Structures are given as structure tokens and as C-alpha cells.
Structure 1
Amino acid sequence: MGYETIILNIEHGVGSVTLNRPDRLNSFTVQMHKELADALDRIEADSAVRSVLLTGAGRGFCAGQDLADRAVAPGQEAVDLGHSVETYYSPLIRRLATMDRPVVCAVNGVAAGAGANIAFACDVVIAARSAKFIQSFANIGLIPDSGGTWVLPRLAGQARALGLALTGEPLPAERAEQWGMIWKCVDDAELIGEVQALARRFAEGPTRGLVATKQSLRTSFGRTLDESLALERDLMRELGRSDDYREGVAAFTEKRRPNFTGK
């Protein structure tokens, strides 16, 4: 499949996807959704790809939905926004959150609406100092979608989540880092090097252990302490039998760099 709205690059075990509609701040159309889904299919089908990097082209990460793609004027028949959410946005969020590879997001500029919540769905978010996160839904009479109602209270707490969602005020990247909503804020010039190094590190890491860590932490809110302790026991039993665990211990005792295979 040839892509017109995204760029896919696979190198050094990293599947890099760049949203590529810079003239529209990388806002989503149906075509972009379909191309991104295809790119993620290709990544998941390639066992040599062991981490994912998502970013945007130009001066923004993603401005959410391209309203021109589903514009409706007063008096016209309403569009079914629920269909758009159910068909495109919700599956994308589920996929990023549950993908069996670590997903790194490089927020290189504005991340607004669904664009902000797509970033928050990734495992590790690093943002340029000039970047901003905007819950712009209230400005057009909507609610935060793309997992926004679920993730915002968990990342920021209810008071901050309500403030962000009801006012639509931009959240600077530095404050997002201070609030614990993203992993790191870096100078703009350092962003690409920082995220590429991290994605490469994940691609060379113990994939099964990283994915088990991701999945157990992401699902922890739905478990009791006893259930979490039981899950830890089961995962440690499974991972302790892996080739990567053996290699990790051998490398530690031999004082050398480990050669993980993800097996």
C-alpha cells in the first residue's frame, strides 16, 4: 500500500510512523486512519520490529480530526460522530495501548483534540519544549474522545482533567512533564535524537519483559493488590524461563552488554 498521508520507515528494529499532512497540522482524515492502520499492521507482522516511534511532520504533532473532512453546516443533516469514534479513533487507541511492542511518541508541536489523546495513549511520551497539549473539544460542543475521558483523570487527577477539558486551555509541555502526564520535555533541537535513541534502546531490549511490564502497569487500575501480586508471580515465572532473562543475567555477571533477542 502506497501512503500519501503518513511516512513509514523501518530501520534498526524500529518502526517509525510520521503523520504527514503538515499543511493541516497532521489532522486526521479517513484516508490517514486507513493508512496508519495499514502501517501498524505491517509493523506487527514483522517480528524484526521491536519498538514503534510515532511523530508528526512539520510544526505540529497532530491537530486531531480534520473538521473539513466531516464538516456540517447549521440546518444540514447531522453526521454520526459516534461512528467515526467507533470505527477509527477507539480502535487506534486500543491498539497503541495494547501493542506488543513499546510505543514511543515524539510530540514535536501542537497536539490538539484527538491528537493530544493519541499521544497520551502511547507508552512513553517525549515532547519538544515548544509543544502544547490542547483538549479542544469543548470549543465545538464535544467531549474528549480517543480515550480522553479515561486517561486525563488518571494522568492529571480529576481537578486538572476537568480544567483542561472544560476550558480547552493549552497545556505547555513543561507543565505536562511537571504534572506527570508525559515522560520528558526536551529542547526542540534535542527531540529527534532523544526519541530515536530511546526507540532504538527498546528495539534492542528484552521485548517480552518490556511488553509484560507495559501490559501489567496499564491494567493495574482494574485489579486488587492480591490480583496484582498473583499476576506478578505468573509473569515472573514465565519471564524467568525466557532466553532474554538468561542473557541478561549472563551479561551482568560477565560485565558486558547484553544481546537480547526478544525471545
Structure 2
Amino acid sequence: FTFLIKEEMPLVAVGFGAYVLLGKRDWKLGSGVIAAGLLSFFALISQVIPYFAEGRSYPYIAERYGAVGGSAAGILRTLVTDPARISASVLQPKKILFLFGIFGPVAGLSWVSGWAALVLLPTLGYLLLSSYEPQFSFTSQYSAPLVPLVIGTAILGLARAPIRFQPALAAVMVVSSLAFSWAFGYMPYSRKFDAGQFRTDAVRRVCAEVVGHRTRRACFRRNGTHQPPVRAALRLRLPVRGGAGCRMGGARLRGERLQPGEI
């Protein structure tokens, strides 16, 4: 069921299969995981997604990977016949900065984790070969599957270091994580942090946008009770937008006494 969360999840499994196959020398399990991952991926993009998209084909490989082949077979063909084209696609300034931001917090220890580093390759592959910029941005959701893999392999890399060096390397990781969090993150101590986004008027504005979107779609459940956004709108004294039923519900709810914490 994990594969149904996002269509690229089976490719993460392919990386684990490669690790089991080459690192653990378990040929049966490793090849089985690789085969299951690849079959699941192609089934999702060729059958499952088009089925729920009313027959429309999966567009993203052709759109985002056109420069390196435009299809799974085309990418493999380009990798074999024109590796310089693959290198040119990967070695772009923004993609190098992306790698710096992803592996910098763990001081690059993921790459000394031995065969375990194989689990990174499929995810890095589909992120770095893409021409769609959010996919190689560490501020978007696309790189989320990579984060636990980087942390996990960094731990293994630290464990492979000689024991006398491990405390120093752990300290380097802590300092590096804090430095990258300051430089690229949005924590209260980060250079990009903007306290103004937490002002009451800013919160009200964001809530108004969210509530407006949700209440336009549906203000009532089938049993007539209020959707949470309506209660949130009234608590924040925001206009409740929607149909006649929504306005009637808003008027009725204004006469109710909301309990502390009730949204």
C-alpha cells in the first residue's frame, strides 16, 4: 500500500532491492524487491493513474524528462549512448546547490555508508534528471522521500568510521546541521525567518483564503453539521462564503457558544 502514496515510491524500493542484492548478497530477495518495485512503478503510471484520470496518459515523464529521453526506455538509451547528455542535465548550478543543501547537514557521511548508498540513487536519479525545478529544490515536497534516506545512510556512514573518530564526526554533523538550518531553513534562528508572518493580520489573511476555498466547496456534511472551516471562520470573525445553506448555518452557529479550543 505504500506504493499507492506516490507513484515514485516503488523506485525507492528499487534502491533498497539493489542494496540487498549487492550489499547483502541476497540474490533472491534483492532481485525480487527490484522486480516488484519496477513492475509496480510501470503499473501505476501506465494503468492505475490513467484509469483514475479518465483515460488520460501519465504526462510527467515526457514533460519533465524530455531532455534526457522523455521515457523510461529513452532515458536508459541516453544513459548508454550519450552519457555526456545525462551529465549536462545533472551538473547544473541549481542541482549542485540542491545536493549541497541535502547532504551538507550530514557532512556528506551518506556517501561513506558503503553499499547502503545505493538506496539513494533511484530517488536522486528521478529528481536530478528532471527539468522541473521544484523537483530539485529542498524547499518543496518532491525531495521529501530523500530526507530519511540521507539521514539513515549518514548514520550508517558514521558507524563505519573508526570509533576514535566517531565523537568528532558526530559533533561535525551537529554543527553542520545547525549551520545549514540557519542558512536555508525557516526556524526562529534562521536568517530567512520572518516573524511578521505570525502577526494576527497575516494569520487571519491565510485563514480567510483557506476557509474561502473550503467553504465554497462544501459547508455542510450530509447530516447538516458544520464543516470545521466554518467554525474557524466565525471564531476569527471572517466572512463565511458559500451558498444559502452555508449562510443559514453561519447565522445559526453565531448563536452557539463555542467551547475553548473548538474549531
Instruction: Give the number of the structure whose residues are more often helix, by fraction.
Output: 2
Which has more radius of gyration?
2
TM value normalised by structure 2? 0.27
TM value normalised by structure 1? 0.27
Instruction: Give the number of the structure whose residues are more often strand, by fraction.
Output: 1
